[in-house]
Chain A
């Protein structure tokens, strides 16, 4: 059977996310308990977490989390990393043996900055430089896979149930201001660690439950813009779309979300003239970026967390607020398990984003007078 990436594998899932809007860090215990509550939504073939704010001492360095299938892969990768980065610190990621987590690859992390001379030479921005280096490792070095590469964040994923994955990575030792989790139910998979969620790119981490029926259209659109969809997963495509719309095209987040889960033409018809014109143009120009089919996604970044459903809500997503915390999860039970009586619990409507953006940050990324939907 072919490895994931060579073949496309649909999967169902559980997702959960917690953010502290003040940017205050908290332990991983809550997110583990929340995702563990939804054990039956995954089948042990993939689990993972992403935490933001977990490396405060090295927060200015890109934290590269690497999987190695062989010593040779590590040798080649480290030679490449030393060439293109200046490495501040590195070492194996601490793990704890767990009988249910098997076929463990080499798991290393590197805190690094782009080599100044090389960065100077090329025309890319620092972010693009790092992104290209990460993609080069994933594409060109057999047996090496970058699990995450953002600053002050990291992805911890494996083949297994999420609670076992957390135990394996000793997640209780970390503290972050934003945690996301994923339990995977692939319909078939040879069980590859790289295929587990979250999927990350620079500062973005995405967990996702669903199957995108527009995948073929989205993928070919992304390829036209230079993205290589090597994993053939929906999550990868969603992450790249977000990167394209927000980082490259500099669109406001609300607009980007309105592209992924576009307002219906009937809704656009009811908008006032200027908004109607704008949304018509957005749908005309970005139609290939519309995500069709069922999904609930949580998108994490250093700015905070955004969660959203497809536009006709074909997958579950529940949100809650309590004090400075915003919770989202596939099921309400997963929120009540850690926050029994939130101030507000609601099921967001299809295509209606839930924002959990940090208060101390410039939230320009969410700032746009264009309202995505007639809420």
Chain B
């Protein structure tokens, strides 16, 4: 084979004074960067295979390793940047679609960073969450416009609701896209926190049985793992129409990842590719969506909410409105920065719109149509911290989904190579040796710690605004001001400029 024209993107530096030749790095790296050289009787490293996941750096007992970006670049060119050239080399070598993992990494505007929160001064006291209750409990599900009371009790029961102690949930990540241990870690954390996790389109592994009380089960276009037990197991059912990282296309779990465990869960033969088609082949229009929503409701006797997850695309407001009218109890909207285990690079980087604008448009549209109150809105892609959560709720969300942030809490280092199945952190892999690296107990504690920390921060921000219940922030866009935004963007966000 001809020599590759691509050069190593990262450099591995080994400090010879510190390295004790213990070979921990050799054992930790699934990419084969480090190896023991018998002739030289020392550990050597091959830069080319390095994905910059920091596993060896973190585990090196003497701190001998560092990784840096390769200083090698092409002649300065503002148009043809390094990735543009490297991607052409790669495609001319392989003839294939470029793949990537995690969310859009291009420098598109992050609107969260252009929105600032309010706080009380003089005319309105701020509330100290250490002294006064600040309530974050959130109920997701369909709600009637009004209640009728007969002799002080409800004339008819309210439709089923998901009850969240913090308005944050772990978003859909299937067993297959992540390891069973990673799923267990998030599931345990969700139970400890009083929130929900989502099993994605991968079915439910028998070992996940103890965690089904707080699972949202997904029904996606491949229908993997879907049967009556699966539907009945979940606290809610989510129809996945689209994903922010790859709107308009389906999913592909390569046969190599379909070992015996994944095979059981997905109900497909070992070694066969699991292909989720781009559309659901029984949903070619909004009325078809209604049929699926009601089929699932009928199947589960209206005992659990049925939500619909869509990707944030140009016409998201109309699609959202249609989905609410089709009977969705909650809508999950995934922005174009949402993560993924594997997506074609061009799709991830170029399709869809930012969640901030999509959320503002959907919330405004549903209000204009007088149906916002009926449905819950969950947004994703990407929520990075508690301030993003608060801003999302002020723009109109009921709750948020986090995927990437949750995985980072488990140890993900954002190398964006999830699709290779060689995750050194034991997260995005089904390899038994690698998966074992993630201890579900420790993972659960870390994920729960993250959400607990966010909970404190959200209370602090709410209290500062003089608000002691999260519902008073929902859609309260007066709590936001925009900086560095055009008046068109402010119009869409329905947010005033700072100083106004």
Contacts and interface: CB of A to CB of B under 8 A. Distances in A.
A211 B123 contact: yes
A220 B474 CA distance: 10
Interface string A125-140: 0000000000000000
Interface in A185-222: 187, 210-211, 213-218, 220-221
Contacts of B466: 211, 213, 292-294
Which has the most chain A C-beta neighbours within 10 Å: B124, B132, B473?
B124
Contacts of A121: none
Nearest to A8: B478
Interface in B120-140: 120, 123-125, 127, 132-133, 135, 137, 139
B3 to A, nearest CB: 62
Interface string B452-476: 0000000000000111110111111
- Is the interface on chain B under 10, 10 to 19, 20 to 34, or 35 or more residues? 35 or more
A214 B476 contact: yes
Contacts of B148: 250
Interface stretch (A43-51, A283-291, A354-362): A283-291
B153 A274 contact: yes
B184 interface: no
B158 A284 contact: yes
B367 A288 contact: no
B143 interface: yes
Contacts of B135: 264-265
Contact of B151 (A223, A281, A369): A369
Given A213-B467, A224-B373, A274-B153, A285 B474 contact: no
A143 interface: no
A193 to B, nearest CB: 22
A330 to B, nearest CB: 16
Contact of A314 (B125, B158, B471, B472): B125
Contact of B133 (A10, A264, A286): A264
A333 B414 CA distance: 65
Contact of B158 (A10, A215, A285): A285
Which has the most chain B C-beta neighbours within 10 Å: A11, A287, A370?
A287
A288 B373 contact: yes
Contacts of B124: 10, 210-211, 213, 293-294
A339 interface: no
B367 A223 contact: yes
B228 interface: no
Nearest to B494: A220
A369 to B, nearest CB: 4
Given A265-B135, A294-B466, A217 B471 contact: yes
Contacts of A218: 472
Contacts, number: 130
A70 interface: no
Contact of A278 (B149, B465, B473): B149
Given A224-B370, A294-B466, A287 B471 contact: yes
B146 interface: yes
A266 interface: yes
B266 interface: no
B133 A285 contact: no
B16 interface: no
Contacts of A224: 367, 370, 372-373
Interface string B370-408: 101100000000000000000000000000000000000
B284 to A, nearest CB: 32
B265 interface: no
A286 B147 contact: yes
A37 interface: no
Nearest to A223: B367
B154 A278 contact: yes
B154 to A, nearest CB: 6
A118 interface: no
A217 B472 contact: yes
Contacts of A287: 469, 471-472, 474
Contact of B472 (A214, A223, A275, A370): A214
Nearest to A291: B472
A217 B118 CA distance: 14
A97 interface: no
A223 B367 CA distance: 8
Interface string B95-124: 000000000000000000000000010011
Contacts of A255: 149
B255 interface: no
Given A217-B474, A311-B468, A370-B152, 5 more contacts: A10-B123, A214-B476, A248-B146, A281-B158, A287-B471
18 contacts: A213-B467, A216-B479, A220-B367, A221-B373, A224-B367, A249-B146, A252-B152, A262-B469, A264-B135, A281-B157, A283-B139, A285-B145, A285-B146, A288-B471, A288-B475, A291-B472, A292-B469, A312-B468
Interface of A: 8, 10-12, 187, 210-211, 213-218, 220-221, 223-225, 248-252, 255, 262, 264-266, 274-275, 277-278, 280-288, 290-294, 311-312, 314, 368-370
**What are the 3 tightest A-B residue pairs by CB atom distance, in nearest-first order?**
A287-B471, A216-B478, A214-B472
Interface of B: 120, 123-125, 127, 132-133, 135, 137, 139, 141, 143-149, 151-154, 157-158, 161, 367, 370, 372-373, 465-469, 471-479
